Structure 1
Amino acid sequence: MNPHDLSLLMGLVLAHLAGDFLLQPRHWVDERVRRLHRSHHLLYHVLVHAGLTALVLMVASWLLPGSPGPPGVLAGAAAVAASHWLIDLGKAKLPAGRLRWFLLDQLLHLLVLCMLWLAWLGSLAPLEALGAWLLTPTVLGVATAYLIVTRPFSFAIAMVMKRWSSQLEDTGTLARAGARIGILERLLVLSLVLLDQLTAVGFLLTAKSVLRYGDLRESKDRKLTEYVLLGTLVSVASTLVLGLTLRLLLER
C-alpha cells in the first residue's frame, strides 16, 4: 500500500467531516427530524456529500495509477449519497440527543467510506494488513490494559474503598461523576506511562489536587479529604503498576 492509498481514505474521511459538521446548518437537521424523507434539506445534505466525495475521487483518479475513471467517480459518489440518505433518515427517526445513536451514525458512515476505499483500490490487502497488525502482541496488550483500567479497575477500587465510603455523608455531587473521573484519570495515566511521560503524571496529579483542594476546603470535611486522597492514590498507583508492567513485557 503506497502513501496515496492512505491519502485517499483520509480524504474521504475529511470530506465526510466537512459535509456533516461544517456544511450542514442546524436548521437542516431540525427539518430532517420533522419531515423525514420529505425533507428538502436532507436531499441538499446528501448532494453536498456526493459532491465532496466526487471531488476526492477525481483527485484520486488523477494521482493513483489504474484508478477507475469518471464512471467509478460517479458510482462512488452515488453510493455515498444513497447510503448517507438511508443512514441519516434512520437516525432522524430515533430519539435526538443520544450519544449512542450519534456514534452509531458516524460508525456506519465510516464503514461505507472504508468499503468504498477498498473497492476503489480493488484489493483487500489493507484489510489483511490491519488484521495482522491488530493481532500483534503490542496491540493486544495495550488494548487489554486500556480495558482493564476502565470498569474492572472501577469495581476493584470500589471494593477497596467500600469500608470507608459508608462513613461519608452525602456531599451532593453528581451521580457516578467520581467513577467517571477515575476512569478518565486512569486512561490518561496509562497513556502517559506507555508514552514514557512519567513527569506528566505528576502534573496531572497536581492539577487534580488543586481542583479538589478548593472543594474539600469548602466542605471542611476531613474524612472526605482523606477518602478522596486515598482513592486517587489507589487509582493512580494501580494504573502505574499496570502500565510499567506492560512496558516491561513489551520491551522484552
Structure 2
Amino acid sequence: MIFFIKLFLAHLIGDFMLQPTKWVIHKEANKAGSKYLYLHIFLHFLITMIVLWDFSMWKIALIIMVSHLVIDVAKLYTTPFFKNKSIPFFIDQLLHILVLYCCAFYENLYENTITVFENLDWALVTAVVFVSFPAAILMGKLLEAMSNQIPTDHKSLPNAGKYIGILERLFVLIFIVLGRWEAIGLLIAAKSVFRFNDLKESNNRKLTEYILIGTLVSFGLAILAGIAYTSISL
C-alpha cells in the first residue's frame, strides 16, 4: 500500500502542483504537437523516480510515463466531443489512478483486488450511496407538492440545492460514524447563518417553511442512515 501511496503522491505533484495553467492551455490548443505535453510527461517520470528513490524501479516509472502520455493525448482529442468538460477530466484521472494501482500491485493484482472488495465495508458504502442521489430523489418526491408553491429563483445555480443537500448529508453521516453528534449541531447552525440573509431579504414565509422542512428532512434521512449503519456494525 505504501508503494501505491508513493506513486499517487508523485501523480498529484506532477499533474496538479507542477503543471501551470499555461501548459494546460498550450496542450489544449496544440494537442500532440505541444512541447509542454512532453515536458509534463517527462516530469512525471522524474518525480516518480525521486519519490520512489530506487533506480531499479525505472521500468515502473517508464510504464507510468508512457501510459500517462497515451491517456493525456486521448483526453486532448476527445474532450471537444463532451459538452461537460469535467467528464473527460475525471475519466482521465480515473485511468491514471487505475494504472498506478496496477503498477503498485502487479505481482498479485488479482488476489489484491479480490481482497480489497472482500474487506469493503458494504454497509458503509450503502449508507454513502443512499444519502447521495437516492436521498435527493426521495426528498424531491416528498416535497414535490410544496416546491410547486415556491417561486423559482432564477439567480440560483443549476442543481445547487441538490448538491448542497448531498454534501450536508454526507457530512452528517461522517459525523455519526465518527461518533461526533455535536458536530451535526454546528453544521445546522452554519447552514442557518448562511441562509439567514436570503430568508430575511425574500420575506417569504412559504420559502422559509419550505427550506426548514427540507433541511430537517435532509438531516433526518442522513441521521437514519447513520443510525442504521452503526446498528449493523455493532
Give the Cα separation in 1 of the matches to 2:216 and 2:232: 24
Structure-2 residue corresponding to 1:163 = 145
**Quick one: which of 186, 191, 205 aligns to 1:208?**
191
Give the Cα separation in 2 of the matches to 1:199 and 1:185: 15
Give the Cα separation in 1 of the matches to 2:118 and 2:150: 50
Structure-2 residue corresponding to 1:76 = 60
Whether 2:51 is the aligned partner of 1:51: answer no
Equivalenced residue count is 229
**Quick one: which of 166, 191, 201 aligns to 1:183?**
166
Give the Cα separation in 2 of the matches to 1:30 and 1:170: 37
The Cα shift of 1:74 comes to: 2.8
Whether 2:204 is the aligned partner of 1:221: answer yes
Alpha-carbon spacing, 1:203–1:79, altered in 2? closer, same or farther (3 Å): same
The Cα shift of 1:87 comes to: 0.8
Q: Normalising by the residue count of structure 2, what TM-score does the alignment of the two structures yield? A: 0.91
1:106-148 CA-partner distances (Å, limit 9, x unpaired): 11111111111123xx3345334313212xxxx1111111111
* C-alpha contact (below 8 Å) 2:123/2:232 kept by paired residues: no
Tell me which structure has the larger Cα radius of gyration: 1
Give the Cα separation in 1 of the matches to 2:190 and 2:53: 49
What amino acid maps onto 1:132 in structure 2? E
What amino acid maps onto 1:185 in structure 2? E
Whether 2:218 is the aligned partner of 1:235: answer yes
Gaps of 5+ in 2: none
**Quick one: which of 108, 112, 125 aligns to 1:123?**
108
Gaps of 5+ in 1: 1-5, 60-68
The Cα shift of 1:190 comes to: 1.1
Give the Cα separation in 1 of the matches to 2:215 and 2:86: 28
- RMSD of aligned C-alpha atoms? 1.8
* C-alpha contact (below 8 Å) 2:48/2:61 kept by paired residues: yes
1:33-79 CA-partner distances (Å, limit 9, x unpaired): 222222221111111111122233443xxxxxxxxx73xx2322221
Structure-1 residue corresponding to 2:29 = 34
Structure-2 residue corresponding to 1:98 = 85
Alpha-carbon spacing, 1:248–1:98, altered in 2? closer, same or farther (3 Å): same
1:134-186 CA-partner distances (Å, limit 9, x unpaired): 2xxxx111111111112221122112212222222223333322122111111
Give the Cα separation in 2 of the matches to 1:55 and 1:170: 54
Give the Cα separation in 1 of the matches to 2:211 and 2:19: 44
Structure-2 residue corresponding to 1:132 = 118
